[in-house]
């Protein structure tokens, strides 16, 4: 507040308020652009995860040396985990911003956009929880069902994202 006491004249206060308004408008414009791009970037990382899964199957099928197989498998699983967490962070960032607009609307956004966005969060949360299981590649039936649940929810998540994008 002591900083505001510097402005003795009216034009100084008006210029200060105008400057603050411009700064906040620029931050909002950059944020909105960044948030929209975050949703799109998440789609590319999901595609990267699916490509890694296919690459992992082919890699494990054709490489016969056990040392290389384990090293390659660990590298692919590390990339898979990294991409998964990047998708999670981007989707949450994207969702929180647009869910805040549902309560404080600035422009007309279709309710279908919100509905598909919220519906896409459900399989994403299931993908994250099933993906956190460290023994997902074990041979027991329960773990295999968690693995297929992880794959099925990832596909459902991708389909809901495509539907979500089309409502934009």
User: Given this model, what pLDDT does residue 4 score?
Assistant: 54
Q: Is the pLDDT of residue 26 over 50?
A: yes
Q: Is the pLDDT of residue 2 over 60?
A: no
Q: To the nearest 10°, the Cα dihedral for 4, 7, 8, 13?
A: -100
Measure Cα distances from 50 to 46, 80, 114, 130, 150 in Å: 6, 9, 26, 16, 12
**Residue 110: left if φ>0, alpha if ψ -120 to 50, beta else—which one?**
beta
Calculate mean pLDDT across residues 33-54: 83
**C-alpha–C-alpha distance, residues 159 and 86, integer Å:** 19
User: Given this model, what pLDDT does residue 66 score?
Assistant: 86
**C-alpha–C-alpha distance, residues 39 and 43, integer Å:** 7
Q: Is the pLDDT of residue 107 over 70?
A: no
CA 13 centroid distance within chain = 41
Give residue limits of the domains in the chain: 110-168
């Amino acid at each position: 507040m002591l900083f505001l006491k510097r402005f003795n004249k009216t034009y100084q206060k008006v210029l200060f308020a105008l400057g603050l308004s411009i700064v906040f408008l620029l931050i909002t414009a950059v944020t909105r652009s960044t948030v929209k791009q975050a949703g799109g970037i998440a789609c590319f990382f999901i595609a990267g995860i699916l490509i890694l899964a296919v690459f992992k199957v082919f890699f494990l099928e054709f490489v016969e040396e056990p040392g290389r197989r384990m090293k390659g498998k660990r590298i692919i699983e590390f990339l898979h985990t990294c991409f998964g967490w990047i998708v999670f962070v981007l989707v949450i960032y994207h969702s929180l911003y647009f869910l805040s607009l549902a309560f404080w609307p600035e422009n007309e956004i279709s309710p279908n956009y919100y509905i598909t966005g919220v519906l896409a969060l459900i399989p994403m949360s299931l993908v994250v929880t099933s993906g956190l299981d460290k023994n997902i590649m074990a041979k027991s039936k329960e773990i295999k069902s968690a693995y297929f649940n992880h794959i099925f929810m990832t596909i459902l998540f991708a389909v809901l994202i495509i539907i979500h994008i089309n409502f934009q």
